[in-house]
Amino acid sequence: MKQPFAAPWFLLLPAALMALWHFAVDLRWVTEGIIPSPAQVLRSWETWIFGSAKASLSPYSGTWLDNVTYSTRRVLQGFGLAALVAIPLGLVIGWNRLVARLVDPSIQLLRPVPITAWLPFAIAVFGIYDASALFLIGLGAFYPIVVNTTHGVRDTNLLLLRAARMMGAGPGTVLARVVFPSALPSIFTGLRLGVGVAWTAVIVAEMIAVKSGLGYVLWDAYYVGRMDICVATMFSVGLLGFISDRVIVWASRLLLRWRSLEAHT
Amino acid sequence: MIEIAGVSKEFAKGERRVVALESIDLQVAPREFAAILGPSGCGKSTLLNMVAGFDRPTGGSVRVAGEEILAPSPRRAVVFQEPALFPWLTVFDNVVFGPKTQGRPSAEYRAHAAQIIEQVGLRGFEANYPAELSGGMRQRVGIARVLIMRPEVLLMDEPFGSLDAQTRSLMQELLLEVWERHHQTVLFVTHDIEEALLLADRVCVMTARPGRIKKSIAVGIPRPRSIEVTTTPEFNAQRREVLALIREESQRAAMETASR
C-alpha cells in the first residue's frame, strides 16, 4: 500500500554522506588541499558544464557536454552491438544443445577475464581509436546479456512448449512466439546488468585507449591534480548510469505489462 | 479412431529401468468419449502424452485414424492439467494462437473465436491477461483454444484436477455441453471415479505400476447427461462396480509392496 504522504526517505542517506564529507574537509580530518569540499566540486562542476571555453582559464571550462556525448555515444554503440549479438546467440545456446556444447564452454572460460585485462590486447589490435573502446564496452556488456538470455530460454515452461506444438507451431514459431517472450524478463535483467558494465568499461577504455570522453577527463584531471574535476566526473558517470538503467526498466515495464499483473495475484 | 496396440514405456532412472506402462491395448471409436481412470503414478498421463505425440512408446504402436503418431498435431488437441496459457497474451490472443499459427485467414478465425468464447462463457474477458483470471476461467481458455482448432481428437489430462469442487462440476457440465454439440473423439484422463462416469461412454480402469488396463467398463447412463445423474441409483451402481475394481487393485498393490 502506498502511503498518502511518502516522505523522501531516499534523500536521508545521501544528505548524511554529504554532511560527513563536508565536515571531513572543513575540520581537516583529511589531508588539506587534496580532497575538495562538496561546495568546491559543485562550483567546478558548474564551470565545467556552463563555463565558456574562451573566457575561463580552466581547460575544462564548458567541455562537459562534449565529453558526456562522447562517452554516452560509445556506451550506446558498444551496448547496442553487444545486445545485437548476445540476444540471438543466447537464444540459440539456450535452445540448441549442440550449439550450447560448442559455444558455451568458450564463453564461460573467457568470462572471468576482466575487461581491464583486455586493454593491452584491444590497443594492440585496434589502436588508440574508438574501435578499441567499442570492443571493450561491447565485450563487457556481452557476457551478462548472453548468460541471462540463455538462462531465460532454458527456463521456458515445458507445458507452454508442448501447448504451442500441439497448436501447430513449428520450431521457428515456437522460438519467436513462445521462447522469446518467455525469456524476455531474463533478457531485460541481462540488459540492465550489461548497461552497468558498459559504463564501467567506457571509463576504463577512455582512460587509456582513447583521448576523449569522461574517462579521459577523469585520468587527465587526476594527472594535473584536479581532484574536484575527478569527483565531478564520478558523479556524472553515476548519474548517466542511473539514467540508462531507468530507461531499460521503463522499457521493460512497457513490454512486460503481463508480468506486473502476475505479481499482484 | 485411436488405436493403442501393445504399447509399453520404460524409463531409465539412473541405473534402474522403470516400466511405466506394460502392453497397453486400447481402442477408442470415432466420436466416443473414453476415460482412463487410475491412481496417480500409474502412467495414464504418459499414455496420453504418447497419443498427443509429445512422447514415443518404447514398444508397440499408437495410431490415430490409421496413422502412426510421430509428432504433436492440431488434429489431436490437448487440454493440460495446468491451463498452460501464454501469460503474455490476452484471452483472445491465447484462443486464436492455433488458427493464427496455422495461417487461417483472420477474418474467419475472429468470428469463430467470438463464437467459442461465448460458448465457454468468457465473453467480456477477451482483453484480460491469464493472470487476471480465476483457475476455472483459465481452464475455460484452455478449452476454447483447442475447440477453435476443430480437432478430430480431444485429449484431456486431468483438466479439472486442480480446481475446487464447485468450479469442477461447472466445468464438467460445460464439457458435456460442448461435447454434445461437437461429438469429438475424447480421451480423458482422471483419477476421479465420478468424473469418469459422468462424462464418458467407457471407463478404462488402470492398474498401478506397471500401468496396465485392468478392465474397460461401458457406462450405461443415457445422454444428454447433467450433473444431476450422479445422484441416480444407476449411477451409484456403476460407481460401486468401479470402486470394487479399484479397491481390489489397491489391495493387490499394497500386498505386493508389503511382500517386497
Q: Could you tell me if residue A122 is left (phi over 0), alpha (psi between -120 and 50 degrees) or otherwise beta? A: alpha
* CA of B148 vs chain A CAs: smallest distance (Å): 10
Residue of chain A nearest B101, judged by CA positions = A169
Amino acid at residue number B216: S
Q: Nearest CA to CA, how far is B82 from chain A (Å)? A: 8
Q: pTM for the complete prediction?
A: 0.87
Domain boundaries, chain B: 28-56+66-75+154-259, 86-150
In terms of phi and psi (left: phi > 0; alpha: psi -120 to 50; beta: otherwise), the region of A78 is: alpha
Q: Is the pLDDT of residue B200 over 60?
A: yes
Q: What is the pLDDT of residue B145?
A: 95
Q: Which residue has the cell 483438466?
A: B159
| Residue B217, strand partner residues | B203
Is pLDDT of B121 > 60? yes
B84, A163: Cβ pair inside 8 Å?
A: yes
A168 CA: distance to closest CA in chain B (Å): 5
Question: Which one of B96, B101, B139, B146 makes the best mutation probe of the A interface by having the most chain A beta carbons within 10 Å?
Answer: B101
Test the B interface: residue of A158, A159, A167 with most B CBs within 10 Å: A167
Distance from CA of B63 to the nearest CA of A (A): 16
Note the Cα B184 to chain centre separation in Å: 12
What is the complex's ipTM, to 2 decimals? 0.91
Tell me how far apart the alpha carbons of residues B91 and B133 are, in angstroms, rounded to a whole number. Answer: 9
**Band of pLDDT at residue A13, cut at 50, 70 and 90:** very high
> CB–CB of A190/A86 below 8 Å?
yes
A192 Cβ contact list (under 8 Å, min separation 6): A245, A248, A249
**Taking CB atoms and an 8 Å cutoff, what residues of chain B touch A176?**
none
Q: A181 to chain B: which residues are within 8 Å by CB?
A: 86, 88
Cis omega before residue B224 (within 30°)?
yes
Report yes or no: A254 at the B interface, CB cutoff 8 Å.
no
Q: Which residue of B has its CA nearest to A168?
A: B74
Beta partners for B78? B155
> Minimal Cα distance from B155: which residue of A?
A166
pLDDT in tens, B10-59: 888 888 888 888 888 999 999 999 999 988 778 888 999 999 999 999 98
Q: Which helix (H) or strand (E) holds B175?
A: helix B165-182
Q: What span, in angstroms and rounded, lies between the C-alpha atoms of A161 and B205?
A: 30
CB contacts, 8 Å: B131 with chain A: 258, 261-262, 264-265
pLDDT digits (tens, 9 = 90+) for B165-184: 888 988 999 999 889 888 88
Domain ranges of chain A: 75-264
Quick: pLDDT tens for B136-167: 999 999 999 999 999 999 999 999 988 888 88
Distances (CA, A) of B13 to A67, A77, B40: 62, 50, 18
Pick the CATH number of B28-56+66-75+154-259 from 3.30.420.140, 3.40.50.300, 3.30.420.40, 3.40.50.670: 3.40.50.300
Q: Give the residues across from B36 on adjacent strands.
A: B189, B204
Segment A132-151 mean pLDDT: 96
Which residue of B87, B102, B145 is in closest CB contact with A258?
B87
pLDDT at A265: 45
A75-264: CATH superfamily: MetI-like (1.10.3720.10)
Long-range contacts of B55-58 (CB under 8 A, 24+ apart): B55/B9, B57/B7, B57/B8, B57/B9, B57/B21, B58/B8, B58/B9, B58/B10
Amino acid (1-letter code) at residue B257: T
